Structures are given as structure tokens and as C-alpha cells.
Amino acid sequence: MKKILLLLSIFIATAVTAQTENKTETQERYLVPTLTQNWFVSLSGGANIYFGEFDKHGSLDKRVSYVGKLSVGKWITPSVGFRAQFDVAGMRGFLNPYSTQFTVTDIALNHAYGERDANGYYKEKFSYFNSHLDLLFSIFKYKENRFYQLIPYLGVGYAFRFGFGENGIHEGEYTVNTGIINRFRLSKSIDIDLELGGMFVNQRFDGSHGGQMLEGGFTATLGLNFKLGKTKTFARQQKPAECDYSNYEKQISDIKNNYDNKVKQLSDDLSNAQSKIADCEKQLNKKPKEEIKPANDEQKIIKETFEAILFETNKDVIKGESKSKLDKAIGILKKYPNMIIKLSGHTDSQGKAEYNKQLSQRRADSVKKYLQEKGINNVIETVGYGEEQSIASNETAEGRAKNRRTEIEFK
């Protein structure tokens, strides 16, 4: 038991040391690999020695058994990686079914074989399968062509026993796995791995329990590590080129000064404009209040004049006789410059409705243009209704002529 605890302490201390020493590596930046890069597969075999309740009865050379390992993993950074490892190992030891210090189950008895020795011990053997996930730490600073790497690891897993009795495969136990990989570079794609590792399980794993809390196996294996993927090394992150802005400092300063001067000029112009607006408002407030709309008799004259403005079919040109009538109404409109005028254009029902609406809008705009040319500066709104608001029948030529008109409203 003391040997197991000593090994566990050494492995954990080595892993912590790897993390501490690799902090210096952060001074150099490496590109993070993609999902398909920096994978590896390892195959190895070697010897396994199991430490159980009764195994100290025999010497180490009588307890050596086989172990084979398959690993699949990936390096996330040059110093940190992970792997899934699958171990098949044998256990050779000793068993005393008559011991009063320990509890020996039927499972343990199925592992016993051979003749009982003078001290009451039988030989014991079984095989087990241990699958575990490990976190890897590379101690030395990363170099692409480094010949030797020291890689401690620590992980957890689950192990099944394979018995030789009637029970066959027995229940398993959770495991803690730790160790050190000594890696020697053969080529860009292949390494030789000398791995020293330990598996620690609950002390009931071999079917005997009592006394110590943990037991497990110590392995020493030799094998090959194959690097997979298009990229098998880590690329250094390139430092961005430093830009020299000294040549642009004067230009930046000139642009800033020019901008400040323009802002000041605009601010002064705004202040002057606000002052003029204030003066205009004072002058407007001094003027006598004018009538906004014409009197009723004047409105009647204007409306009758506009209703008399008729257009030829499919035309938006004001006739000559209509212009002379408009001139009389314009004299009245000039007396009310603050009045808002609305002009509405209309057509007969001949032609498509959509086209008629466009034509009526052009007729209203034509009248507006004439009023503005004659000095009417009022706000003038125009709208085209097409054939929607007929005032006469569209079945006769006379009715259609009345519908081709422009009307006026006051706001």
C-alpha cells in the first residue's frame, strides 16, 4: 500500500510541475489547430504488476504479467492534450482464502489456481480491461524537432475483470490513471514511447478486500506513436507588423485644424442666421393682421371662374379664353397672400381610370403653374381625382366637357 501511495504522489507532483514549467511557453503564441489536426494513435505492449491484498506474499518476478495498450488522442496546444486509452492487462498474484484479516469472495476464489503452499496461499490470476480518458502535459518547451519529450498524464476510467471461473466477466470499478510518457522522435510522423503508468481502483476489485483502501497495477510499456492529420506540428502565430504613422502626423494635425475652423465658421453662420430669423419675427409681429380668406362674394367669383376653365379631351393645356378669365380671379387672390389654395383636377370617363387620374393631376398642375407665373406666391396644393367626381353625365359630349375641369378650394 505504501508503494502505491508513493507512486501516486510522484505522478501527481510530476503533472503539477509540468503545468508550472510550461507557463513560460505562453510567451510564444501558437495557432490553435483545427478539429482534424494534431491527432495521434499509439500502440504499445509490456509488463504489468498488480498490487492486491495478498500479493506481497510473493516476489515481484513471480507477479509480472502482460499488458497491451491502444491510445487515440489530440494535442490542443503544444503543451496540453488528451487521449482515450484502452488497456488489456493480466494479473498474477497470491490468494489466501483462509485469512481472517481479509474478506475473500467467490469472485476471488474463481481467480485461484494451482496447489496450496505451506503457508496456505494459492496462486491467483485474472485479466482486466481498463478504458480511461487522460489529460496530457508536455514538460519541455515546444520545439518541432525536439528528440525527447517528457509527458506526465492524469485521468479517470472504468475497468472490467475477466475471471477464469464460472462467473466469466465480473463487475468493474472506476479507476484513476496516472503516469509518465518518455517520447523519442523517430521522424516527423513516428515516435517511440516508453510509458510508465499506474491504475488505481477500489480494493475490492480482485474479489478480496479489507485493510488498505486502494489497489491497482503498475505498467511499463514500449510502443509506437503515429501522428495523424495534414498538420503534425504547431505553427507560430506571426506578430502583426508595426505601422509607422509618423509621416501622417502633420496631415492628421492639418485635417483636425481645418475641421475645427469649419466647425467654428458654421457655428458663426448659424448664430447670424438665428439673429436674422429673430429680427424677421419681430417685423412680422408689427404688421397689421390681414384677412386670410376672401369674402364670400369674392370666393363665389373665384370658384365660378375656375369652374369655367375647361380642357379638351386628353389635353392638359389651358385654353386662351380660360386664361383671360383666370386673370380676373388672380387680382382677387393677390389680396390674400397667406391663404392656402387647393386645386383639384378632373376628367371625363373616357380612357382608363389610371390614366385619367394622371391626366387630372397634370391639369391641376398646369393651372398651378399659370398662377405662379402671374405672381401668386401662396401655398398651392394640387390633387387629381380623374373621373371619380363627375358633375355631369359622361354619356353626352356636353356632360363630358363639363367634367374636364379644375376646381379651387381655400384653407
**Tens digits of residue pLDDT in 192-212:** 999 999 999 998 888 888 777
**Percent of the chain having pLDDT more than 90?**
28
pLDDT reading at 220 higher than 70 = yes
Greatest mean pLDDT among 14-18, 19-23, 26-30? 26-30
The neighbouring-strand residues paired with 196 are 180, 220
For the entire predicted model, the pTM comes to 0.52
Cell 503533472, residue? 15
pLDDT reading at 5 higher than 60 = no
Give burial (CB, 10 Å; 0-12/13-18/19+) of 64. middle
pLDDT reading at 398 higher than 50 = yes
User: pLDDT tens, 254-264?
Assistant: 888 888 888 88
Q: Yes or no: say if 157 and 142 are a contact pair by the CB < 8 Å rule.
A: no
Q: How far apart are CA 206 and CA 163, in angstroms?
A: 10
Q: Yes or no: say if 91 and 127 are a contact pair by the CB < 8 Å rule.
A: yes
* 7 — pLDDT class (breaks 50, 70, 90): very low
Q: Report, as an integer, the average pLDDT of 82-97.
A: 92
Domains and CATH numbers, the chain: 2-228 (2.40.160.20), 296-410 (3.30.1330.60)
pLDDT at 170: 57
pLDDT at 252: 84
pLDDT at 286: 57
Q: Report, as an integer, the average pLDDT of 227-255.
A: 75
Alpha-carbon distances, residue 191 vs 34, 44, 188, 225, 269 (angstroms): 22, 12, 8, 5, 80
Q: 3-class SS at 151?
A: strand
Average pLDDT in the chain: 83
pLDDT at 23: 42
* 2 — pLDDT class (breaks 50, 70, 90): very low
Q: Yes or no: say if 65 and 221 are a contact pair by the CB < 8 Å rule.
A: no
pLDDT at 240: 67
The neighbouring-strand residues paired with 130 are 87, 159
**Cβ neighbours, 10 Å, residue 254:** 10
Q: How far apart are CA 47 and CA 179, in angstroms?
A: 14
pLDDT reading at 362 higher than 60 = yes
∠ CA 51-54-60, rounded to 5°: 50
pLDDT at 21: 42
pLDDT at 86: 97
Question: Could you tell me the three cell numbers for 236?
Answer: 507560430
Spatial CA neighbour of 79 closest among 20, 21, 138? 138
Question: Could you tell me the three cell numbers for 151?
Answer: 509527458
Q: 3-class SS at 408?
A: strand
Spatial CA neighbour of 386 closest among 350, 332, 339? 350
* 158 — pLDDT class (breaks 50, 70, 90): very high
Q: Report, as an integer, the average pLDDT of 210-235.
A: 85
Q: 3-class SS at 341?
A: strand
Q: Report, as an integer, the average pLDDT of 109-114.
A: 82
| Cα R_g (the chain), whole angstroms | 51
pLDDT at 17: 47
Q: Report, as an integer, the average pLDDT of 19-42.
A: 67
Q: How far apart are CA 124 and CA 54, in angstroms?
A: 10
Q: Yes or no: say if 154 and 132 are a contact pair by the CB < 8 Å rule.
A: no
Cell 503539477, residue? 16
169-173, 321-325, 374-378, 403-407: least confident range: 169-173
Instruction: Label residue 7 left, alpha or beta by phi (over 0 means left) and psi (-120 to 50 means alpha).
Output: alpha
DSSP result, 24-47: GGGGS-BPPP-TTSSEEEEEEEEE
User: pLDDT tens, 129-148?
Assistant: 999 999 999 998 888 888 99
Tell me, what amino acid is at 355? Y
Quick one: the chain helix, strand, coil %, rounded to 5? Answer: 30, 35, 35
pLDDT at 98: 83
User: pLDDT tens, 265-320?
Assistant: 898 888 888 888 887 877 676 544 455 778 888 888 888 888 777 778 888 888 77
User: Residue 240's Cα: distance from chain center in Å?
Assistant: 24
